[in-house]
Chains A and B, each alone.
Chain A
């Protein structure tokens, strides 16, 4: 009787605990979702930045034309005249997710627009990600740490920066996929269940669909497996966790068109296969050791090792030869720049030109993970006591991600979940210790005076005959806890010698210290929350297509980009080609629906270099290049009037560099005066005559009479000039976007023919001009 009651009590307690953590998780989900809505509240429900516009456009296509057309989509509105096979070159995870979400909602007759679904995909998935973090951390260190880690992840600024409402980018779903894959791996490792191993492969597939960062998983897990093998932690569970993942995962990964045979051909996946072989060898060794006597085993080992080493060397030699024969050693540029941080700046300026591929600065660590940076070491220590398979995995995870985030600021995103997990573990362990010691001491102080009375009453309460009755009548959970605490509190009261022992076991700290420590931890947490909310509200919510500035007369909105795109979309022919620097390619195709020459996909360096060359050439040469590309409009972004710093003049050096990388007649030194980039009167003539300069500063002097550039904080070098081959067709309200039209060639050619007729062909200049006309940059 009593026993069953007590067991009821404990199951009730468990149920209560799980209901409580269920509600906490729901609240964490709500928190993760709502903290990302600042952008919608402060600005509007709109897609942000650059890449999200592309994803949005792909999603629109998907919802409109269906999945088969999506796979076969050849996009002729970008990379003109090459086009781009979207279905085969895009990570489809995000698009398919949002498309499915949209389809689901619409089939339930909830007619949300594709845009709305896209805007809110990221917040929804960050709620999922925090739940996945809970699961992962729970597998590592129990549910207390899990809840803490989930709460931390829900508002870690680094992740918020990539997943605010409207930031419809791959990372939004990929972080969830990453954490969930790790969770399933750990779960498989802990349970040894094939069911979870299969799920793990599917989660990995989803990750491969979502983001190029999947290579992080396929390298981190083999490393952990190797670590386990080396430290002698091999078990059948490890085998089950790893082998199916490699086989199924690779098969599934190669189903994704953008990965395809890369899943077996490139060096990024090499580690997984190597470890796959190793784990089989190890499994075989364990098996043989099981069936052989130790003596025989020794003999077998020496035999196998000598033969095996020879075979291995041969295989490795062949592999090395194959890999070394390819120029990039089988690594993609972005991966190589991870291994060698200086690689991109040396060889691929296009990767180096992206600000998010730069190494982060120290303040950006503080900005992005804030107090977690201090908690991580404590978490690592907590993971070592005791070190399990799971905790060794998270330690490895944090170490690797710290390295990667140090190379590329973008990969701070991978570090954030690891930091949250570690800090969650650290915080929850700390709270455990502190609250434990308070709970342990508090009754002492209260009871010191009246311990006898308490003892007497407690004896009555736990009298065996009474247990059954009280269990029925009283709240069982209370009874249970009180019993426990009583047990603990009684010992030190009665048995002075045992006190020290118990103390040692519980790591009891002095009461005052623990109260202060808890208070400080709370303060730390509060600081983190304040910082995260600030980051979400102020730093990371700007959609970047609409800018605001606060001045004494209120909020001022700069909506120039959309003004320009709307103008393009309504007032130009539908097949007109628009040339701009690649940053604005995605936005132009998505918002203005016009064909662009290059876009943010940057897959063809030569093409981008052509545009860069045109921008850095004099007007006539530029006209010829653009004309050869069928371009009708040229779009430049100019911040000099209002002081918008990330405009084309500031990006111009990259255009020169990228252009010069392919077309050697563009030399960076021609644009620099004594190594300085300047546009004032000291600027080089090449700089002052290049197209970008002219298009940006055309008639700029007439605005204030002295042509003061507010971004560069200087007066421009050449103030009065006319355009001969381009005409201004639109400039936005704050001059941030200026659109020029190429003048038609007809009249000019006629004039030239006339000129050559009248002046005969004796003049050599016209001949050289003619040659210039014929030169095609391709």
Chain B
């Protein structure tokens, strides 16, 4: 019921409730000293409380209760309690965080949320302990007025109690509120209120009974970016080939006072800090060192307004959204970067551990809903995640590059996330290195089969009907082609033998050795006879084959010409040899063979042409 009411009425109800309750004594603890410091310099409200807990009863006490009104508890993002060792100023907290849990003890006033802190060891009679409590709240600063124009400044309202709300008696307490260095519109003035620059001090107050409540309201100027990510999906993908790829999808909104009326670029550009003071134009992300391949884009492409610098300790990425963010304006973008695997992945007890930060690398960004998805390599098993604070966990699978069964994904879901959540968390899983080879082998096999299929396809006769006319015709045509090929070869050999004859003639002219020339002639004669014998079956086949009908005449012509060429050559040869035997002069020989010579050249030409023509078929 209370939830449906406005904040104001709830307060009234709450106060009534507090007033009507007779404070039940839960235990014999008292708070000897309470110091509260509220930091309002950014949109995130951080309340640091130092409690000095004393046990006045006889029984040892092992838990301390902290209470928050519901309206605050709803916005509570982060709560840690540490034991303050006493030395120093609470910075060196010894031990770790104490376990904190929500409890519903009997007799508590309604509209209070109670957290119980378990102490490391029971607090004996008269013992005291210093506790540091850090509570971080989001969305606690309410912009008043809710809508401003471009040139207005943004004013926000903060409500708290001047008295520490506690189920225990509080002896001494004080409160200091740190505000940004700017105008303070108004604040609740109580006794003992002091204003030092941008810091307001309330108290000290002494000896207050449990559940005392004194509301204060501070209205002040805050122009710090009210950047809120409505949703952030962080995907951490592990590749065992050496990379951790982080992709972050932001859906950002300026959660401050809504902008109304015109937006004038002119005013904004001329005096950006006056006309546009409430807007923010840049965000800074602190990336892990050795981050590489950083990109920044949205669904319509790269956003060019970003810069990156860094050293061995850190990388800083400064990004500007496409347009300055005024109140209520939204935008979405994605940043991504790669990280070296060895910085984040370790092996522990045969298991692998990914150790990486949980929250966003952005500074001072509130995230309403955060999804962290850790994508493990395909084939991982035995998956478990350990996060230092409660988150919703589930598992899904993602099918990515060349996956067969998909990669296991650990999804961690958390709402209301502040920079304090940016701590390391661990994901444990088992993964065999052999699985790494799966994809390369798969690719190799794939290509291998592709080539094998090609080879098989090229070599296998795939015709369906072995008796179909086209198939037979094809076979026949192939046969014809081989025949023609052989025929051409024979003709070529004939030509080379002819050349040999010519060569012998030249030898003759040089040496005058008629005998050698004659023997060459004989061998050539024999050879040509053999060749013409070989030629015969081929020719008859070609003449009979219907497929070769259009080539056969050409082939016949070729053979005829070639034969004529041979005869001419023989004639020339005999003439020359005759002449030599008769010892005739060179000129005489020239004269006698000139007619032959011309004819031979012409024939040779024709034969060559025909050969080329047939070759092309």
Contact assessment for A732 and B265 in the assembled complex, using a CB-CB cutoff below 8 Å = yes
CA–CA, A459 and B499, complex, Å:
8
CA–CA, A3 and B502, complex, Å:
23
The answer, yes or no, to whether B161 is at the interface (CB within 8 Å) is no
Contact assessment for A44 and B301 in the assembled complex, using a CB-CB cutoff below 8 Å = yes
The answer, yes or no, to whether A278 is at the interface (CB within 8 Å) is no
With both beta carbons as reference points, the residue of chain A lying nearest to B300 in the complex is identified as A591
CA–CA, A280 and B261, complex, Å:
74
CA–CA, A11 and B497, complex, Å:
24
Given contacts A7-B486, A703-B266, contact A490 B403 (CB under 8 A): no
CA–CA, A733 and B322, complex, Å:
9
Given contacts A7-B482, A463-B500, contact A109 B402 (CB under 8 A): yes
How far is the CB of A489 from the nearest CB of chain B, in Å?
12
The answer, yes or no, to whether A670 is at the interface (CB within 8 Å) is no
How far is the CB of B336 from the nearest CB of chain A, in Å?
13
How far is the CB of B462 from the nearest CB of chain A, in Å?
14
The answer, yes or no, to whether B422 is at the interface (CB within 8 Å) is no
How far is the CB of B608 from the nearest CB of chain A, in Å?
8
Contact assessment for A727 and B329 in the assembled complex, using a CB-CB cutoff below 8 Å = no
Contact assessment for B403 and A109 in the assembled complex, using a CB-CB cutoff below 8 Å = yes
The answer, yes or no, to whether B381 is at the interface (CB within 8 Å) is no
The answer, yes or no, to whether A570 is at the interface (CB within 8 Å) is yes
With both beta carbons as reference points, the residue of chain A lying nearest to B295 in the complex is identified as A44
Given contacts A3-B486, A7-B485, A109-B399, contact A566 B298 (CB under 8 A): yes
- Which residue of the partner chain, among B264, B302, B401, B604, contacts A109 with CB atoms under 8 Å? B401
Contact assessment for B497 and A464 in the assembled complex, using a CB-CB cutoff below 8 Å = yes
Contact assessment for B264 and A464 in the assembled complex, using a CB-CB cutoff below 8 Å = no
Given contacts A44-B302, A109-B401, A464-B497, contact A699 B264 (CB under 8 A): yes
CA–CA, A468 and B323, complex, Å:
81
How far is the CB of A396 from the nearest CB of chain B, in Å?
26
- Chain A residues with CB under 8 Å of B363's CB are none
The answer, yes or no, to whether B331 is at the interface (CB within 8 Å) is yes
Given contacts A7-B482, A46-B301, A546-B304, contact A459 B400 (CB under 8 A): no
How far is the CB of A740 from the nearest CB of chain B, in Å?
9
- B interface residue count range (under 10 / 10 to 19 / 20 to 34 / 35 or more): 35 or more
B residues 480-496 touching A (CB-CB < 8 Å): 482, 485-486, 489-490, 492-493, 495-496
The answer, yes or no, to whether A498 is at the interface (CB within 8 Å) is yes
Contact assessment for A111 and B401 in the assembled complex, using a CB-CB cutoff below 8 Å = yes
The answer, yes or no, to whether A680 is at the interface (CB within 8 Å) is no
- Which residue of the partner chain, among B403, B527, B597, contacts A495 with CB atoms under 8 Å? B597
Contact assessment for B304 and A559 in the assembled complex, using a CB-CB cutoff below 8 Å = yes
- Chain B residues with CB under 8 Å of A497's CB are 597-598, 601
B residues 394-417 touching A (CB-CB < 8 Å): 399-404
Contact assessment for B503 and A455 in the assembled complex, using a CB-CB cutoff below 8 Å = yes
> What is the total number of residues of chain A having a CB less than 8 Å from a CB of chain B?
52
The answer, yes or no, to whether A702 is at the interface (CB within 8 Å) is yes
The answer, yes or no, to whether B262 is at the interface (CB within 8 Å) is yes
Contact assessment for B490 and A571 in the assembled complex, using a CB-CB cutoff below 8 Å = no
How far is the CB of B13 from the nearest CB of chain A, in Å?
37
The answer, yes or no, to whether A667 is at the interface (CB within 8 Å) is no
CA–CA, A361 and B471, complex, Å:
56
With both beta carbons as reference points, the residue of chain A lying nearest to B329 in the complex is identified as A571
The answer, yes or no, to whether A439 is at the interface (CB within 8 Å) is no
Contact assessment for A464 and B489 in the assembled complex, using a CB-CB cutoff below 8 Å = no
Contact assessment for A498 and B604 in the assembled complex, using a CB-CB cutoff below 8 Å = yes
How far is the CB of A333 from the nearest CB of chain B, in Å?
33
CA–CA, A414 and B354, complex, Å:
57
B residues 566-617 touching A (CB-CB < 8 Å): 597-598, 601, 604-605, 608
CB-defined A-B contacts under 8 Å, sample of 19: A3-B490, A6-B489, A6-B492, A46-B302, A109-B400, A455-B506, A456-B503, A464-B527, A545-B301, A546-B301, A562-B322, A563-B323, A571-B328, A702-B266, A727-B261, A728-B264, A731-B264, A731-B266, A733-B323
Which B residues have a C-beta under 8 Å from some C-beta of A? 261-266, 270, 298, 300-305, 322-323, 328-332, 399-404, 482, 485-486, 489-490, 492-493, 495-497, 499-500, 502-503, 506, 527, 597-598, 601, 604-605, 608
- Given A110-B401, A703-B266, A733-B323, 11 additional A-B pairs, CB 8 A: A7-B489, A109-B401, A455-B506, A464-B493, A464-B497, A467-B493, A501-B601, A563-B323, A566-B331, A727-B261, A732-B323
